[in-house]
Amino acid sequence: MALYKFDKSIDLFVRATKKIPNGIYGHVSPALAVPGEFPYYAASGKGSRYTDVDGNEFIDYMCAYGPMVLGYNHPEVEAAVAAQRERGNCLNHPGEVMVQLAEALTDIVPFADWAVFAKNGSDVTTWALQVAREHTQKRKIIMARGTYHGAHAWCTPGHGGIIDEDRAQIKYFKFNDIDSFYKVIEEHRGDIAGCIMTPYHHPTFADQIMPAEGWWKKIQKACNDEGIVLILDDVRAGFRLDLRGSQEYFGFSPDMACYCKALGNCYPISSCVGRDYLKGAASRVFLTGSYWNSAVPMVAALTVIKVLKETNGIQKMMDFGNKLSKSLIDLAKSHGLQYKFTGPPTIPFPSFANENNFFRNQRFCSEITRRGSFFHPSHNWFVSTAHSDEDLKETLKAADEAFAIVKKEFGS
Amino acid sequence: MALYKFDKSIDLFVRATKKIPNGIYGHVSPALAVPGEFPYYAASGKGSRYTDVDGNEFIDYMCAYGPMVLGYNHPEVEAAVAAQRERGNCLNHPGEVMVQLAEALTDIVPFADWAVFAKNGSDVTTWALQVAREHTQKRKIIMARGTYHGAHAWCTPGHGGIIDEDRAQIKYFKFNDIDSFYKVIEEHRGDIAGCIMTPYHHPTFADQIMPAEGWWKKIQKACNDEGIVLILDDVRAGFRLDLRGSQEYFGFSPDMACYCKALGNCYPISSCVGRDYLKGAASRVFLTGSYWNSAVPMVAALTVIKVLKETNGIQKMMDFGNKLSKSLIDLAKSHGLQYKFTGPPTIPFPSFANENNFFRNQRFCSEITRRGSFFHPSHNWFVSTAHSDEDLKETLKAADEAFAIVKKEFGS
């Protein structure tokens, strides 16, 4: 198999570092994969695949880190979007589609009575905390330590530019450790406005952790008993586990939920939905942005929901995700390697069971990436409804070579 | 002149209030104009005009509250954007255009050595504060009281969901009152990280205030002397006063500047640029969002800069703004009314000189809006390069009728 090179990516990156701090920043930073071993700049995308600036084509297991759910440039989304764009996008007022989208979202998400829209996950997770504070007139927010809820100061994984006040009213428990959860409630009883949590734990540079038996029932009961607003951060998992929201997958019911990623199939939109009892508070917390009323991303979201529903898209992704994990684990085993998957089938995170340092994972992902399947070594993956058996076949062929290299270099 | 009705807007709004807190929220809220007297939902836009859901066409003096600068669906922007969109938009990595845009922005903004990109004004104003804190390792930010720097808790004009910690390290002076500025520095000397300010004062529900003679020179000197990072919030004014940034219009030089609005001609993008000495700090403050590396808005921004430069767009807007204010003031005078403009010609805010309560302004704006020129009574306007003499002629015809009504009802 001819191996990909990333010369143009690297040249561009060197040029970028002169005019952009870190060259490329944030969650797509090359430093989070393996510098020099992965593409840095993308040129085009179609279906389940994208091409980098060096002309290398990849089967994409990151899906733009989540936003791509139906495939890049999906015909039905693009057709709906084109019609709206030709009429107008960002005007003085929202379009009729804003009402339609709020109706559609509150229709599919069982507990949701209202919806608002923004551009980014952080926009809505931060706003949801404010709504909880406004409603309860309390200050503290509790969250699972190490969870990514966005890039704002109260939750950013970065260390720069943070002051004590940013987190003075944020208190932590450990995911899946119910005693630590009860303890933080005990310690701050009477001053807790909200609890924000992802439906399962999806850290970076670590295995994903599914909720323990009974976890969500206990969380929900405690929040209800204590008058704590339960906020589901479904930014990453939303519309990849259950079309009704990830609370249905895990069997509980929050008071608010935040969506982004899969919602617009790469068109910039996020949303927060909530229960009726929070609508008054929601109306008193100012929420706005220059482009937030744009009609095009709302048309995209409306179409994504429709297509996922009509095509049973979630099940399609689950099936592909299950085939992907089973066949890669089996293939690794045939090489004498221990490969494992954590997290749900549609948002998998694979790694080698016999290491904690990701050395094998980095080597394996580098080798398979330069053979045409983009595998990230330290961030959970995403699958889409565009991934096909043909994709899987090609990926397994590349994986066979990449596993052989790992076996040769590491022995097991 | 046949008067517009807003029946469908109002019906949609009633429907919206059932599923969306406030129905329409944020800066485009109908409550900020005159409820029932203005359109609530837009259907389409082209050039300097847009059409609402009732089929009413308006000459647009709000320009989507700033983002429209070359006209809706500008041919050159749309062509560049279409080519990029067909290749790909939001992928696993930024496109080459990210590097090109950073080069272009640092090329046109004289003091800028680097650039980053986001989606919204608040994204970059908040991030800029963090960079100032990271660089100085100090906590306090000083700002002019009543300035809109975005919708985040440290600066939102809203009152809901705010806790003491959000503003514990924000200290205030009065715009154009240099003594109050020196006083706040005196009081917090040694603990001030940054000073954030708009190039001139543009509040809502009030006249705009241009900087006093020597204001910016004194601000810049004090910041430089005290080691305070001077941050220009050019979100609203950027690329409407001077293509090199509004600091050139007013003759000073900040350390960072934030852009949004005009940058992408309605495609969602914002930016922060800064001096070399802040690049290290900037690289240590985490910055990211799900769609922030999307290539389409960056291509739009690159094209906007090119078109504004090639067509001398700023001067074109200045000329139109000057004609607009002069002709409306003269027309009002001919009716025995005192109409005045505050702020720069390209971001004008007109009102009646003999009132503080906006009653005349609300009546006048309502009457001219239902005659086809969208005039906002309480928020500064924006002009674009698409506004023509023909637009002005039509607007003056409608203004003649609207001024006559004000004269009749108010007497002067």
Contact B365, B406 (CB under 8 A): no
3 state DSSP class of A8: helix
Per-residue burial over B240-257, b if 16 or more Cβ lie within 10 Å, else e, is bbbbbbbbbbbebbbbbb
Q: Which two tokens stand for residue A119?
A: 């551009």
Q: Are residues A358 and A212 in the same domain?
A: no
What is the per-residue pLDDT for B250? 98
Handedness of CA A310, A314, A315, A321 (dihedral sign): positive
Interface membership of A80 toward B (CB under 8 Å): no
DSSP B7-61: HHHHHHHHHHHHHSTTSS-GGG-GGGS-TTSS---EEEEEBTEEEETTS-EEEES
B130 and A161 in contact by Cβ < 8 A?
A: yes
In this structure, is residue B2 part of a structural domain? Answer: no
- Biggest alpha carbon–alpha carbon distance for chain B: 63
Q: Are residues B296 and B381 in the same domain?
A: no
Rounded to an integer, what distance in angstroms lies between the CA atom of residue B276 and that of residue A128?
A: 36
Query: What distance in Å separates the CA atoms of residue B141 and residue B132, rounded to the nearest whole number?
Result: 9
Q: pLDDT tens across A17-36, in order? A: 999 999 999 999 988 888 88
Q: Report if residue A399 sits inside a domain.
A: yes
Q: Do B156 and A42 touch (CB under 8 A)?
A: no
Residues A320 and A289 in one domain: no
Q: Residue B266 sits in a domain of what CATH number?
A: 3.40.640.10
CB contact under 8 A, B119 and A45: no
Q: In chain B, which stretches have pLDDT less than 70?
A: none
Residue in A with minimal Cα distance to B47? A88
Cβ of residue B49 closer than 8 Å to a chain A Cβ? no
0.95 exceeded by pTM: yes
Judged against a pLDDT cut of 90, whether residue A359 lies above it is answered with yes
Tell me the one-letter amino acid at A223. C
Within-domain flag for B1: no
Same domain, A86 and A179: yes
Instruction: Write the residue in A66, A120, A280 that is nearest to B119 by C-beta.
Output: A120
Q: Tokens 């016999």 label which residue?
A: A354
Q: How many structural domains compose chain A?
A: 2
CB-based contact B90 A64, cutoff 8 Å? yes
- pLDDT computed for residue B204 by the predictor: 87
Q: Which domain holds residue B55?
A: 7-72+312-410
Residue A103 lies in a domain: yes
- Indicate whether B341 belongs to any domain: yes
Contact A119 B289 (CB under 8 A): yes
Instruction: Assess if residue A149 is contained within a domain.
Output: yes
Length of chain B: 412
Q: A1 in a domain, yes or no?
A: no
Do B162 and B53 sit in the same domain of this protein?
A: no
Q: Is A285:B25 a contact under the CB 8 Å cutoff?
A: no
The pLDDT of residue A1 is above 80: no
A148 and A40 belong to one structural domain: no
CA B110 – CA B266 distance, rounded (Å) = 25
**Residue B368 covered by a domain:** yes
Q: What percent of chain A has pLDDT over 90?
A: 96
* Closest residue by Cα to residue A127 from A137, A116, A136, A139: A116
Residue in the structure block whose two tokens are 């910690």: B165
CATH code, domain with B34: 3.90.1150.10
User: What pLDDT score was predicted for residue B264?
Assistant: 97
Residue of A nearest to B140 (CA): A163
| C-beta atoms surrounding B103 within 10 Å | 16
CA-based nearest distance A287→chain B, Å: 5
Write out the two tokens for A237: 């998992």
Nearest CA in chain B to A149: B289
Examine the domain organization and report whether B123 and B32 are in the same domain.
no
Task: Locate A350 and state its tokens.
Answer: 């694979």
Q: Give the pairing of strands A57-60 and A373-374.
A: parallel
Q: Calculate mean pLDDT across residues A240-248.
A: 98
Q: How far apart are CA B51 and CA B150, in angstroms?
A: 28
Measured distance CA(A395)–CA(A398) in Å, rounded: 5
Last residue within a domain, chosen from B262, B286, B310:
B310
- pLDDT tens, A191-218? 999 999 999 999 988 999 999 999 999 9
Domain co-membership, B180 together with B231: yes
For residue A87, give the chain B residue with the closest CA. B44
CA dist A266 → A70, A281, A365, A391, B344 (Å): 10, 30, 24, 21, 37
Contact B73 A67 (CB under 8 A): no
Of B267, B282, B310, the one marking the end of a domain is B310
Instruction: Give pLDDT, residue B9.
Output: 97
Same domain, yes or no: A334 and A213: no
Verify that A129 and A235 share a domain, yes or no.
Answer: yes
Domain end call among A257, A279, A310: A310
Tokens at residue B6, please? 């807003």
- Residue A379's SS3 state is coil
Do both B102 and B201 map to the same domain?
yes
Residues B227, B289 within the same domain: yes
Residue A339 has a pLDDT of 98
Question: What is the residue whose two structure tokens read 């004008």?
Answer: B348
Q: ipTM above 0.95?
A: yes
Strands (E), B104-237: 114-118, 140-144, 170-173, 192-197, 229-233
Would you state the structure tokens that stand for residue A182, as one six-digit string? 């009860």
Return mean pLDDT, chain A: 97
Residue type for B174, please?
K
